[in-house]
Every structure is written in structure tokens, then in C-alpha cells.
Structure 1
Amino acid sequence: MDLFKRRLRMGGSILLPLIFSSPLFADVPVVDLMAKPVKQSSGYVAKPQSVEQRLQILERKIGNDALIDLYQRLDALQVEVQQLRGLQEEQGHSLEGVKQRQRSLYVDLDQRINNLQKELKQLSVPVPAVAGSPLSQSIVDNNASGHGEGGGLAANGSAVANSGEGVAIGSTGVGVVVPVAPTTDGVVTANGAVATTTPPAPVNPLQEQSDYQKALDLLMAGSYEEAIAAFSSFLQYYPNGEYQMNAQYWLGEAYYVSRYFDQAIEAFSQVIADKTARKRPDAMLKSGYSFYEQKRWPECRELLQQLIADYPQSTAAGLAEQRLQMLRAANL
């Protein structure tokens, strides 16, 4: 009996929980764990930024502006560098042009010296000095021009008026004897007019050669102002002499080396006008050089091209071609 009661209590203890726990076996709702929960509007307001955060944002913005400014400065520097390079190239080209002109001048001078030496070798006749020649006293002392009331004194102390010569004082202060026709009384008026004149004496060929050589020696010695005066005097005294055209050319040369380019062009033009003159190609070359120095590019180009066309085999034509190449290289 006791055994039966114990088994009954044991069975009841097992069945009673099963009876009262039936809701536990109801359907359980399915939940999608992958679905995101939907937030409902709750009137969210952004949290105010702190001072530190604002400073950081401002620093980033300033940093961007500084970077942009740096790029702009770099671009400006690149432009300036390009401009400087262009100027450097232009200066280098100009310097090369100067060097080329110097080389051309040296070559031309050397050629002329050689030609002059050949001419001197051909002059084998000694030339005696003749007193009273128009260039025998071509250069007088500066102080001599102020002595006496009737005119200057030559170096030997004789009166210039009595020797048939006049004294011309140039801009350099150097007295140069300018020949005038001899007079019956030896008087020359203040304005250069001669009182009573007599026919001029015949030209002495030896004296003409001597006077020409003296003027040429002044030029070769670098006394350009005195050479200009001497050649001018020579051309006045021997207008139709044997050395007239050569003297005309060397007068232009003296003007050219003295950088009197207008006067040089005028002197060379008289040589160029004579198509039979032996110095014509050289006169055309130096006249073209004078135009070049004056930056008169069209006249320079035209004259040098004419020189090459007229004398294609001459040394002057080769130098003219070099100068034309310089003009083409500089787009002038």
C-alpha cells in the first residue's frame, strides 16, 4: 500500500507540470534578424561643435588656400624663368653678333693691309720731300695757329700765307694746312676769298704720291681725325689726281672707324658711283656696314646683295654674305 502511494505521488508530480505548461508549446513569432530597425523621427538636433573642432576645420581651410597660393607662385616663377631664358638667349645672340662683326672687321683689315703692302712694293721710286707742298705741313701745332696777326705759322716758322696754304682748325683743335691757290700778294681774306689769283702750278706727280702716303700713314697710325683732315685736303688739292679715288675711299674708311657713319656713307657713295673704281666693292661693303650700325636694315640688305651680284668672287662679297646671314638669323 505504501508502495502504491509512493508511485502515485511520483506520477502526479510528472503529469501536473505537463498539464499546466501547455502555453509553452504555442507558435513563436518569427523575427528577421537581418532587417534593420526603423528609426522613428525623434527631432534629432546636431550637437554643437567645440572650439577645438572649429579651429581644426579652419586650419584645414587655411592650409588649402595656402597650397593654392603656392601653386600660383610656382606658375609665376616658371613664367619668369622662361622670360629670363629668352633674354639670355637674345643676349647670347647679340654677343655672338658682336664677335662675328669683330672677326669680320679683323679679316677685312688684314686683307686691306695685305693689299696695301702689295701696293707699297710696287712703288719702287723714292719720293723726295718737296717744300711748300699742300701736305708737307699737314699737321701744325695747336699753339702755332694763334701766332701772328696775318695767320698761323708752319712748323718751320715760315708764314702760311706766303706759302700759298691756309690753316683750318678742326673740332679736335688740331691745325691742318688746307691748300689754296697761290696769290700775287699772298693775302687771303677772313672769309676765305682770295684777292688776286694766278693760275695754279702744274701738279707734281711725285708730290701727289708723297702727300697721299702721308695721309694714309696717319690713318694706319690710328690718327683718324688728322687722317680725315689730310685726305680732305688732298682731295681739294688733287681733285683729278691719280690717287683721287683711293683717297676718297680711305676718307670714308677714316669716317667709318671714327663712327661718323653719315659722313662715311657720303664718302663711299662717290666711290660706288664710279663703276670702274678698283675700290668700289670695298666701298659698297663698308657702306653696308655703316647702314648696319645705324640699324637701317633695308638699305644694308639691298647694298650687300648688290655687292654680291656685282662682284660674286670678291673677298668683299664673302664678308657681305656673312653679314646677310647675321641679318637673317636675327630676323631683321
Structure 2
Amino acid sequence: MKRLLPLAALLALSSAGPAHAGLFDDTEARRQIMEMRQDLENRIDATSRGQLELANQNEQLRGEVARLRGQIEVLVNEVESLKQRQRDFYVDLDNRLRKLESAAVQPQAAQAADPAAESAEYEAALNLLKNGKHREALTAFEAFVSKFPAGSFTPSAHFWAGNAALQAKEIASATNHFNAVLGKWPNDSVAPDAMLGLANSQQAMGDAKTAQRTLQSLVERYPTSNAAQAAKQRLGKR
């Protein structure tokens, strides 16, 4: 009996050894699982934050695009409005000039070689200008004044050529055409507006002092004209 006790103790120790080792293995496995879970959760959190930041950036970009589209739409509307005002200005000014010229055109028309052709070419050039085709209009008006140097519409053609040249940034050409009106037809109905155009040309060339003197001369030479009223506003007079 005494010999059996050590044997039983030995068996108990041998059986407890594997159980204790298994306990440590399970704890290590649990620790690794917890670490893996924490790492996965950290990655998920980082991904979520990244997606949220990306969503915010996308929202900001969409807002910026919408804002830019709104600005573009406003600019397009302003350009179209400016073009329409410019066309209306040309039509209104041309109508006023025609009323002033009507008395002079009739007697001169009989002397023209082909008054119908003159009128047609003048209208064609004027339509180019009304449609914003400034360089084409300038070319057409210059061809007109060359073909009809003493025609009924020649003073007006020079005036409109000056305006077309001014819009096309051909300042020297504009100056020449406005001076042609003032030099050859100072009493024509377009002369006051030609002098105003000359002042605009001088201003465009950076010669503000000469432009101011031209405006003053306009007020003195054609005091009752609409151009003189515009000149007074530019000069700050009432």
C-alpha cells in the first residue's frame, strides 16, 4: 500500500502538466484574438474616417462647381445683355441719323450713279456692325467709302467705320475715320457723334488730356446735340 502512494502522486503530476500548459495556450490565443480584433476595429475606424473626409470633400467640390456654374450663368447673361444693349444703341443711333439725313439724302440720291446699290452696300455693312462683326464691318465700310467717296451715306459710313474700328481695337483707323467726318463734313448730322468717337479714340490711346479738349470742343461747336450732352457728363458739367 505504501508503495502505491508515490505512484499515484506521480500519475497526478504527469496528468496536471498538460492541463496547465493548455491553460496558458488558451490565454495566449485569446490575447492574440483580442489584438487582431482591436487592429481590425482600428482599421475600420480609419477607413470610416477616410470615407467621411472623402464624402465631405466631394460635397465641397459639388458646392464649388455649383457656385462656378452660377457665376458662369451670370456672366453669360451679362454678356448677352451687353450685346443686346450694343445692338439697340446702333439701331437707335442709326435711326436718329437717318431722320437728320432724310432732307439731305433725297436731292443727292438723284446724282448718285446707282443709289440702290449704294443703299444696299451701306445696309449690309451696317448689319455686320449690328451683329457684332466689327472687323468685317470695318472692311465693308472702308470698301463703301472707297467706292462711294461722295455718296449720300459716305459721312455716316465713315462714322460707323470709326465705331467698328474702335470696337476692333484698330484705334488709328478709328481716329482717321472720325477725323474724315470732321474734316470733310463738319456740318453733317453725324459730326457731333464723330467728335465724341474721336475723344473715345484718344482716350483709348491713353491721351486723356487731348480727349478732354476734344470733349470741350464738342460742347462748344455742337452745344445742342445729344453728343454734347454726353460730353458734358464726361466732363462733369451740368
CA deviations 1:196-235 (Å, max 9, x no partner) are xxxxxx8211111011100110111111111111111111
Answer yes or no: is 1:259 the counterpart of 2:237. no
The equivalent position to 1:283 in structure 2, one of 189, 194, 197, is 194
**What is the aligned length?**
144
Q: Would the aligned equivalents of 2:87 and 2:131 in 1 still touch at CA under 8 Å?
A: no
CA deviation after TM superposition for structure 1 residue 113, in Å:
2.3
Q: Which amino acid aligns with 2:208?
A: W
Q: CA shift at 1:280, angstroms? A: 0.5
**Residue 111 of structure 1: CA displacement?**
5.2
Structure 1 pair 268–109 and aligned structure 2 pair: CA distance change class (3 A): farther
Q: Which residue of 2 aligns with 1:294?
A: 205
Please tell me the residue identity of whatever aligns with 1:284: M
From 114, 134, 143, give the equivalent of 2:92. 114
Q: Please give the per-residue CA displacement for 1:274-329, whole angstroms capped at 9, x wherever unaligned.
A: 22221100000011011112221221111100000111122111211222239xxx
What residue identity is the alignment partner of 2:145? L
| AA aligned opposite 1:317 | A
Q: In the aligned structure 2, how far is the partner of 1:256 from the partner of 1:302?
A: 19
Q: Paired residue for 2:180?
A: 270
Q: Max radius of gyration: which structure? A: 1
Alignment of 1:75-94 (within 5 A): none
Q: 2-side partners of 1:313 and 1:220: how far apart? A: 27
In 2 relative to 1, CA 275–119 (structure 1 residues): closer, same or farther, beyond 3 Å?
closer
- Which residue is 2:234 aligned to? 323
- What secondary structure, in the 3-state scheme, does the structure 1 residue paired with 2:209 have? helix
- 1:136: which partner in 2? none
In structure 2, what is the Cα distance between the partners aligned to 1:111 and 1:322?
A: 18
User: Per-residue CA shift, 1:157-177, capped at 9, x if unaligned?
Assistant: xxxxxxxxxxxxxxxxxxxxx
Q: Distance in 2 between matches of 1:283 and 1:317?
A: 11
**Separation in structure 2 between the aligned mates of residue 277 and residue 122 of structure 1, nearest angstrom:** 9
Question: Which residue matches 2:122?
Answer: 212
| CA displacement at 1:119 relative to structure 2 | 6.3
- How far is 1:108 from its partner? 8.7
Residue 241 (structure 1) aligns with: 151
Following the alignment from structure 1 to structure 2, what is the Cα–Cα distance between the partners of residues 246 and 121? 12
Distance in 2 of aligned mates of 1:244 and 1:224: 18
Equivalent residues of 2:122, 2:144 under 8 A apart: yes
| Partner residue, 2:219 | 308
Can you give the 5+ residue segments of structure 1 that lack an aligned partner in the other structure? Answer: 1-105, 124-201, 327-332
Question: Larger % of helix: which?
Answer: 2
Normalising by structure 2, we get a TM-score of: 0.54
What's the TM-score once normalised by structure 1's chain length? 0.39
Partners of 1:107 and 1:214 in 2: CA distance? 20
Distance in structure 2 (CA, Å) of the matches to 1:211 and 1:244 = 11
Cα distance between partner residues in 1 of 2:187 and 2:158 = 14
**1:119 to 1:314, Cα distance in 2 relative to 1, 3 A:** closer
Change beyond 3 A, Cα 1:295–1:325: farther
3-state SS in 1 of match to 2:129: helix
When residues 303 and 107 of structure 1 are mapped into structure 2, their CA distance, relative to the original with a 3 A threshold, is farther
Mapped to 1, the partners of 2:129 and 2:161 lie a distance apart of 9
The root-mean-square deviation of aligned C-alpha atoms, in Å, is 3.0
**Where do 5+ consecutive residues of structure 2 fail to align?**
1-83, 102-111
> Secondary structure of 1:227's partner?
helix
